[in-house]
């Protein structure tokens, strides 16, 4: 962290699921959900980075890929 940056590593499944959740979050009234406006900038940065890094977001079978990723990430009963 000496360079002032933090690196977070996600699996492709984690990134895909998180990207969808962040998209839904950004479509809400952020002021109602996130009580500190200082948090908005990193939320937008993370979402934007995921959008650039995930070609799956534009795949015709995106919904199926997202659901498969969700299944793999859910804890087994």
Domain count, the chain: 1
- Band (pLDDT 50/70/90 cuts) for residue 35 is confident
Residue 66 pLDDT exceeds 90: yes
What domain range is 16 assigned to? 12-73
Residue 36 pLDDT exceeds 90: no
Tokens at residue 18, please? 């998180």
Using CB atoms within 10 A of its CB, is residue 69 exposed (0-12), middle (13-18) or buried (19+)? buried
**Average pLDDT value over all residues in the chain:** 88
What is the Cα–Cα distance from 77 to 29, expressed in whole angstroms?
34
Arithmetic mean of pLDDT, 28-46? 83
Of the candidates 6, 25, 11, 27, the one whose C-alpha atom is nearest the C-alpha of residue 70 is 11
Arithmetic mean of pLDDT, 5-26? 92
Of the candidates 15, 10, 25, the one whose C-alpha atom is nearest the C-alpha of residue 65 is 15
User: Is 67 a domain residue?
Assistant: yes
pTM (2 decimals)?
0.82
pLDDT at res. 1: 47
Q: Would you tell me how many other CB atoms lie within 10 Å of the CB of residue 66?
A: 18
Contact criterion met (CB below 8 Å) for 74 and 14: no
């Amino acid at each position: 962290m000496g360079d002032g940056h933090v690196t977070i590593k996600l699996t492709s499944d984690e990134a895909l699921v998180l990207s969808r959740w962040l998209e839904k979050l950004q479509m809400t009234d952020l002021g109602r959900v996130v009580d500190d406006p200082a948090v908005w900038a990193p939320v937008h940065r993370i979402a934007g980075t995921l959008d650039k890094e995930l070609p799956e977001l534009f795949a015709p079978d995106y919904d199926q890929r997202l659901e498969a990723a969700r299944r793999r990430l859910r804890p087994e009963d």
